[in-house]
Amino acid sequence: MNTGSTGLSAGLTALVTGAGGSIGRGIALRFAQEGAAVALHCRTAVDSARDAASRTGELGGRAVVLRADLTDEEACRRLVHEAAEWGGGRLTTLVNNAGVQPVRPLPEMSAAEWREVGDTNLTSVFTCTQAAAAIMREQDGGGTVTHIASVEARLPADGHAHYAASKAAVVMHARAAALEYGRFGIRVNTVSPGLIDREGLAEAWPEGVTRWRRAVALDRLGRPEDVGRRLRVPGLAARVLGHRAGPGGGRRSVGAAEVMRRVTSALR
């Protein structure tokens, strides 16, 4: 890591799950720009995660790629401990970003499909957070945990019943975790993005992209870096807990000015 960095995250060790995807990659690079050492988790997108780690090095940072299947409880716990060990025994930030977003009409959805989304999007958040908090509560300064939820936690889309339900539960988990872990100096918050662009999205889900562009004020999809900018604010505010920020493009979401107002108020 570039020890001369004076960024807001200098000296921190961050674990970002799902860092092989577009949002996770953007978050990891944002932390690297701010001076953090970043552990990038992936399951199958190894090349993308390694490329992001290489970019981190170009930014003067330090990174490692760790693989794990987050539907496996023990794999979740191993991942967190490997990241902390790599960070010299400390883990200051966890970003629960990994998730899946399949499309299946509710009448046609099987219980197995429902469970798969729940295990990936929700149960992994519970397990990784619990493992990270056990480390953070024993270290000076506690730590921060940020869940990447979705605007669909409040506004579900067709074919996304399992996804929307999992993200709504993620938001409530953050509030409960903020309540119980706050006494140990651990801040837990959520960021709820709108539809974030990625390669092939318009071809894979054209109706969803069209609906989103019609609904938002900005008339564009979100970008991965939008999420990274929002995440930094609640994650580093020492007295902000259980907060939900969201770069939603103007669709019933918390805007940048409102996020800053809330953070400024909390820090007074």
Beta partners for 67?
Answer: 42
Interatomic CA distance for residues 151 and 230, integer angstroms:
14
d(CA 231, CA 110): 34
Q: Does the active-site annotation cover 163?
A: yes
Distance CA 15, CA 146 (A): 10
User: What DSSP state is assigned to residue 159?
Assistant: T
CA–CA gap between residue 243 and residue 160 (Å, rounded): 24
Catalytic residue (one of 163, 186, 208, 253): 163
Under 8 Å CB-to-CB from 199, ≥6 apart: which residues?
22
Closest CA to 80 of 31, 124, 48, 139: 124
Active site members: 163
